[in-house]
Amino acid sequence: MVQYTDIGDVPAAEVERMRAVYEPLAESVRELIDATIRTEVDAETVAAVKAQIDAATARLRARQCDGPFGVRRTANGQSLAWGNPVIGIRNPIAPPLQIRRTEDGRVVTDFEMGAAYEGPPGHVHGGVAALVLDHVLGEVAANGDRPRFTGTITLRFLRPTRLGRLHAEAGITRVDGIKAYATGRLSDADGVSVEAEGVFIAPKWARE
Amino acid sequence: MVQYTDIGDVPAAEVERMRAVYEPLAESVRELIDATIRTEVDAETVAAVKAQIDAATARLRARQCDGPFGVRRTANGQSLAWGNPVIGIRNPIAPPLQIRRTEDGRVVTDFEMGAAYEGPPGHVHGGVAALVLDHVLGEVAANGDRPRFTGTITLRFLRPTRLGRLHAEAGITRVDGIKAYATGRLSDADGVSVEAEGVFIAPKWARE
């Protein structure tokens, strides 16, 4: 059972305050991930850094939520997916994507991917391209604050996607009751590299 | 152009020594990622921990490779995909998957996913399921040390996948020249939740 967390009457200013506390931490951990993959310092330094990190983790764990972050909803309708691995501002795994909705109902996003997302040398892992496109198509297929979850998605890889500045976008092609059909694509500096199409379905609890 | 890095005549014992230096660091950063998402400590503690992490990152960056890790190959045929976001032992984003090949040529893997991989509350992000299955199908489709890259992959989501202990497996259904057809699935404690099928294609430089 997919269960959202109702956090009640939290004012927007308090949400902003929480964001200002925790977002910079995740940004620092993203840098650490990149350094962890690329470092060539000696064994003694690595061991010392590891001890520092374990100490940092222990301090953070002194008070933490049970289980994963979930998706938290305020009484005034804000939805905080801060733990999400694609858009979560508190999840160091996420680039994170900032998704904009255009006037004609499409979604677009520009972002950067480095060492942490590498599959073939110098290129984005095909599964990471799938992760991004699944999310972007799901986002455009959502109906206001009612999610639609992926039913089926197909990805066509035209060529390898280079690491660096990337762009993804998606649009709805058709809505048929509880189903929305969406298409999208991922591009690097040389143009479109991956195309996607999918069917997204409203879960039972989110149907009207 | 996808370019592997030839690191020459590195003995297996030296590879093991490097693994022993860097693998524990990535394990610690994985714990830190989980704590970063779930922590509820106060703003002062978060700021202090962030400063510790920035210092750790600076120490690691004192000597690091230019750009991403790449895929490094030794003269005796070992392939080190240590930066890979699915299987990379040096990439804190990776669970990392340990993939076994069965006697009948299938690949199987058992792993755990927690807060960092959450999409719908308590459940695996659909795109993360796609990331894992793309990798596992690509692995079974590879021809010895010659990779095949994803041409097309289709994922069918039967139901949400619960976070926790997971299992993925894949097999080849047919090989047709440079193309291999593979199918696979992801399971949680309640059975199969996502099915995948894909066509994987040998890049030009990896054809015989």
Closest partner CB to A156 (pick from B88, B116, B152): B152
Residue of chain B nearest A195, judged by CA positions: B152
Asked if the Cβ–Cβ distance from A125 to B116 is below 8 Å, we say: no
State how far residue B120 is from chain A, nearest Cα, in angstroms: 6
Asked if the Cβ–Cβ distance from A117 to B93 is below 8 Å, we say: yes
Residues 6+ apart with CB under 8 A from A143: A180, A202, A206
Asked if the Cβ–Cβ distance from B56 to A115 is below 8 Å, we say: no
Residue of chain B nearest A136, judged by CA positions: B127
Cα distance between residue A76 and residue A9, in whole Å: 7
Residues 6+ apart with CB under 8 A from A29: A92, B29, B32, B33, B36, B53
- Collapsing DSSP states into helix, strand and coil, what is residue A157? strand
A117: chain B residues, CB-CB within 8 Å: 85, 93
Asked if the Cβ–Cβ distance from B25 to A46 is below 8 Å, we say: yes
Bridge partner list, B50: none
What pLDDT sits at residue B208?
Answer: 60
Cα distance between residue B79 and residue A119, in whole Å: 13
Q: List own/partner pairs for B92-96 with CB under 8 A and 24 or more apart.
A: B92/A32, B92/A33, B92/A36, B92/A37, B92/A92, B92/A116, B92/B26, B92/B29, B92/B30, B92/B32, B92/B33, B93/A33, B93/A93, B93/A116, B93/A117, B93/B33, B94/B26, B96/B26
B31: chain A residues, CB-CB within 8 Å: 54, 57
What pLDDT sits at residue A147?
Answer: 80
State how far residue A50 is from chain B, nearest Cα, in angstroms: 5
Asked if the Cβ–Cβ distance from A62 to B46 is below 8 Å, we say: no
Residues A114, A118, A124, A128, CA torsion sign: negative
Cα distance between residue A73 and residue A22, in whole Å: 17
Residues B85, B86, B87, B91, CA torsion sign: positive
| Alpha carbon separation from B81 to A1, A29, A46, B8, B69 (Å, rounded) | 36, 22, 20, 15, 8
- E-only strand ranges, A13-89: 72-74, 79-80
Closest partner CB to A122 (pick from B2, B64, B91): B2
One pLDDT digit (tens) per residue for chain B, 208 residues: 788 899 999 999 999 999 999 999 999 999 999 999 999 999 999 999 999 999 999 999 999 999 999 999 999 888 899 999 999 999 999 999 999 999 999 999 999 999 999 999 999 999 999 999 999 999 999 877 778 889 999 999 999 999 999 999 999 999 998 899 999 999 999 999 999 999 999 888 777 6
Closest CA to A86 of A115, A33, A128, A54: A128
| Alpha carbon separation from A119 to A29, A113, A116, A197, B144 (Å, rounded) | 21, 12, 9, 22, 17
Domain chopping of chain A, boundaries: 1-91, 97-206
Cα distance between residue A28 and residue A90, in whole Å: 11
What pLDDT sits at residue A69?
Answer: 96
Cα distance between residue B79 and residue A125, in whole Å: 16
Asked if the Cβ–Cβ distance from A121 to B85 is below 8 Å, we say: no
What pLDDT sits at residue B2?
Answer: 84
- Collapsing DSSP states into helix, strand and coil, what is residue B16? helix
Asked if the Cβ–Cβ distance from A93 to B70 is below 8 Å, we say: no
Asked if the Cβ–Cβ distance from B49 to A56 is below 8 Å, we say: yes
A132: chain B residues, CB-CB within 8 Å: 127
**Ranges of chain A with pLDDT below 50:** none
B43: chain A residues, CB-CB within 8 Å: 21
What pLDDT sits at residue A208?
Answer: 60
At the topology level of CATH, where does B97-206 sit? Thiol Ester Dehydrase; Chain A (3.10.129)
pLDDT in tens, B141-165: 987 777 888 999 999 999 999 999 9
- Collapsing DSSP states into helix, strand and coil, what is residue B101? strand
Asked if the Cβ–Cβ distance from B93 to A86 is below 8 Å, we say: no
Q: How far apart are the first and last CA of chain B?
A: 18
Residue of chain A nearest B6, judged by CA positions: A121
A197: enclosing H helix or E strand? strand A191-201
Asked if the Cβ–Cβ distance from B153 to A154 is below 8 Å, we say: yes
ipTM of the prediction: 0.96
- Collapsing DSSP states into helix, strand and coil, what is residue B64? strand
What pLDDT sits at residue A144?
Answer: 72
What pLDDT sits at residue B122?
Answer: 97
A55: chain B residues, CB-CB within 8 Å: 52
Q: Kind of pairing, strands B179-188 and A100-101?
A: unpaired
CB pairs under 8 A between A and B: 334
What pLDDT sits at residue B203?
Answer: 83
Asked if the Cβ–Cβ distance from A68 to B118 is below 8 Å, we say: yes
